[in-house]
Amino acid sequence: MATSKSTSIKAIELTKSVFESIQGGLGLLKFSVESLTPIDEVTDLRPKKWNMICSFFETFYSSIPSKYNVSVDLDKNIVSSIEKLNKDYSLFGNTYRITKMQ
């Protein structure tokens, strides 16, 4: 019996794939989710929009992980509003859409 992934897991995987496509696999060390909060009305207990704070080491030489706040829309496969929390700037644009996840 196959089980489908929860929407929270899908939101995490989508976010991680966006950062991996920008940073590369080695530029995304120890990816972790610090908070994951649904931001849409939950009618069927499967929220499709999330707010996430995640962190990861961007390089082997990083002394502390970079922390990001992002919005995830699973209906559109969009990760948007990418904000780097522990710096004054971000290397990422505003919105990314994943068309195919591996």
**pLDDT value for 17:** 92
Determine the 3-state secondary structure of 43 from DSSP. Answer: coil
pLDDT tens for each residue of 42-86: 666 788 899 999 999 887 787 888 899 999 999 999 999 899 888
CB 15 within 8 A of CB 52: yes
Note the pTM of the prediction, 2 decimals: 0.77
CA–CA gap between residue 72 and residue 101 (Å, rounded) = 15
**pLDDT value for 90:** 46
CA–CA gap between residue 90 and residue 92 (Å, rounded) = 5
Return the amino acid letter for 34.
Answer: E
What's the mean pLDDT when you consider all of the chain? Answer: 81
